[in-house]
Amino acid sequence: MIDIDIREKPVFWINLNDAVDRRASMERMFDKHGFKNVTRVEGVRHPIGKIGCGKAFLRAFDQAPDEDFIILEDDCVETKMFRPIISLPEDTDGLYLGISMWGLTEEGSGPNIRLDVVDESTFRIYNMLSAHAIYYRTKDFVKLCRDTVDHWTHIKEDHHDMGYAENMENNKVYCMAKPIFYQTSSEQVTNVMIERLPNAN
Contact assessment for residue 174 and residue 92, using Cβ atoms and an 8 Å cutoff: yes
| Residue type for position 50 | K
Give 143-162 pLDDT, tens digit per residue: 999 999 999 999 999 999 99
**Average pLDDT, integer, range 105-121:** 87
Report field, pTM of the whole predicted structure over 0.75? yes
Report residue 153 CA to chain centroid gap. 17
Report residue 46 CA to chain centroid gap. 21
